[in-house]
Every structure is written in C-alpha cells, then in structure tokens.
Amino acid sequence: MSTEAHTAGSKSVFNTFNIVAGVIILVGLGITVLRFTGGLGAVTNLDDNNPWGIWIGFDLLCGVALAAGGYTTSAACYIFGLKRYHAAVRPAILTAFLGYALVVFALHYDVGRPWRLPYPIFVQQGTTSLLFEVGLCVFLYLTVLFLEFLPVPFEWLKKTKIRNFLVKITLALTIMGVVLSTLHQSSLGALFTIVPSKVHPLWYSPYLPVFFFVSSIAAGLSMVIFEGTLSHKFMHHAMDEEYLKHHDTVVFGFARGCSFVLFGYFMIKLIGVAYGDAWHYLSTGYGALFLVEMLGFVALPCFLYAVGARDKNAKLIKWTAAWTVLGIVFNRFNVSIIAFNYQLPSAERYFPSWMEIAISIFIVTLGVVVFRFISKRMPVFREHPMYKAEH
C-alpha cells in the first residue's frame, strides 16, 4: 500500500486496515466471551502436563522481549549520550508502554483468577519465587514507562508545567527503566531455571537469565529498526523533518550495535553448551533445532547486520531486523514450548488451539490499532511546535 493510497483511503472508515483489524477484534471479543464463560478449558489446549501455552510463550515472553526497544533506545540517548538517536526515543517508549500494557492484558486471559493479579504485591508476597520478581518488575516498569510517555499527551494537551517537570526527571526514569528491564528480562529466563528436568539440556542453563537479558537487547534494537520501517511506510504523514532526517542514522547505528550484541550472545550461548556439557546433543533432532536457532537466527543476522552497516545498505538491515525479531520469537518458543517438556511422549505434548492463536493475534492487533491512534494525533514521530528541540 503506497503512502498516497493510504492517505486517500484513511478518509473513509472502511479501508483495508480497518476492515482486517475490525474482523480480528470481533473474533477476539467472541473468544473472550467463551474464555470467561467456559473457563480456560473451553478455549485452550492446556492440560495438566502442559500448564503454559502460547499465551505465556508468545504474549508474555515475546511481548516483553519485543518491548525492550524502550529501555535500549532511551538508555542509548540519555545515558550513553548518543543524542542523534533522539528521534527514535518516543516511538520506542510508546511501543514499550503498549507492549507491557498488552502483556498485562494478555495475562488476564491466561491466569485462572485475573482479578487476583495484584495479590502477589498487595496481599501475600512469595518472595522466593522468580515469578514474584517478574510481577513486581512488570508493575514497577509499567509505572515508569507510563511516566516516561506522559510528556507526549501533556504536550498534546498543552500542559506545560507538568510536562516540564516530567522532562526534568527523564534521567532518573531512564536509569530506573534500565534497572527494572534488566531484572525483568532476565527473570523471565530465570523462571525456567527451576526445572532442569523439563527444559532440554541444550536450552537449559543456569545462565538462562543472562541469555534472556542479552537477547532482549538485540530484540529491542531490531524491533526499533523493524517498527521504524513499518511506521515509515504507513505513518509517513505524521513524521516531521527532524524525525526523517535522523531515521537513517538510527538504522545504521542500531544495526552496528545489534551486530555486536548478537556476537556476544552467540559466544555466551556457546559457553552455556560447554557449561552444561551438552555437546553430544547437537547430533540429535533437538540439536538440529538448536543449530537452526544459533546459526540461522543469531550468527546469520549478526553477520548481515555487520555487512549492512558497513555498506550502508538500509534495505538489508531492515530485512535483517525482521529476521532477528523472528529469531527472538523462535528462541522464546523453544525455551517455553518446543524444548519444554521434551521428556514427554509426543502424544502428551502441547499444540495451541486455533482460539489461543486467535487471541494472540487479537492482542497484537489491539496494540497496532492503539499505536496508530496515538501516533497519528500526538507528537510521537514529530516534535510539538511549542516544545521544539527541548526534550
């Protein structure tokens, strides 16, 4: 869809995007009714051997990893002093905020009694649990992200005083954001450290928290490039000169950074295999899967990013970003679903029902719709004329 066609189409309510999104949302609402009238059993393929499905493996694990663009971009800009990435900060923060909000939303589908989700924080704290760390970090980081995003609606509403105060505490918020993200991204990996008996030895490692943290940086950087590309295509009219001017700088800089991160990630994953002495599994079926992940989704994008950054090949970088995002999803699926419960006979393994998949698509769609709504109206891809070049 070209930009012209899109702007022309957006005049009528019934454009392609709205129709597709509308159908998905209607289906999602239908399944939501089923879920909350028939219980989890009515819509999922979960059972007593497989308590977690794609609502955890995709909605939670991938949702959080792909929301990592928020802390990586804001850290690059405000802590590492890379001011030239400034234009990318707001879209990334908005994505992260929506990502986390949707993760929490998705959890309402997955847990048995969603209205009790505040219990671990406010009623009884199971502090020995890594899930407690996850919960607490989501709760706190969502608050931090909300505060980091607030200047945008306040600029939109021209509330200068409170906006200026929020901008003043940017650095503190950014540091808190990085601390919470570090803990949060890693604790999702740490969840699985309690079951060495169920996660295949090639994926199980006491280093899982470190693996999840480092790969989340790559996920965040790739997501910013990937999203920037999509936004460029469909949100061009909402962008100002400033954003467009810096767009390529962000793409090349992030590609270079991501190449290094993926290289480091590849190395520590190798160390993980050595530490677990799991070399002999490489010749098995799971070994092939592991090699696909490591060579196809870590080593390859690492190389392609490097080439793209060297040759200033934006197109290659954009495809690599999409590939890396896919690779992160692949990794999270492996840890939580495919290589999880590997000890069970294949008849007892889990495969999602179509309704589970539909709900996951529904939640992603909601995110895209809200993102479009906000970035079309508020100063996300552009600077507000009243507050130019001062945030």
Residues at the interface with other proteins (CB under 8 A):
36-42, 44, 46-49, 51-52, 75, 78-81, 110-113, 116-117, 119-120, 123-126, 128-135, 171, 175, 178-179, 182-183, 186-187, 190-198, 206-210, 213-214, 276, 343
Q: How far is the CB of 343 from other proteins (least distance, A)?
A: 8
Q: How far is the CB of 114 from other proteins (least distance, A)?
A: 8
Alpha-helical segments (H) within 111-169: 119-122, 130-149, 151-156, 160-168
Packing angle, helices 86-110 and 208-234, rounded to 10:
110
User: Token digits for 66?
Assistant: 């792909």
- Of 53 and 327, nearer to other proteins (C-beta) is 53
- Of 190 and 255, nearer to other proteins (C-beta) is 190
- Of 171 and 292, nearer to other proteins (C-beta) is 171
Distance, CA of 358 to chain centre: 19
Closest CA to 297 of 266, 257, 261, 270: 266
- Of 160 and 343, nearer to other proteins (C-beta) is 343
Q: How far is the CB of 96 from other proteins (least distance, A)?
A: 17
Which secondary structure element, helix H or strand E, spans residue 194, and what is its range? none
Backbone angles phi, psi at 199, to 5 degrees: -95, 130
Q: Three-state SS for 340?
A: strand
Q: How far is the CB of 294 from other proteins (least distance, A)?
A: 20
Closest CA to 68 of 300, 274, 225, 279: 225
- CA distance linking residue 105 with residue 111, whole number of Å: 11
Q: What is the DSSP letter of 56?
A: I
- Of 135 and 379, nearer to other proteins (C-beta) is 135
Q: How far is the CB of 276 from other proteins (least distance, A)?
A: 7
- Of 11 and 113, nearer to other proteins (C-beta) is 113
Q: How far is the CB of 349 from other proteins (least distance, A)?
A: 13
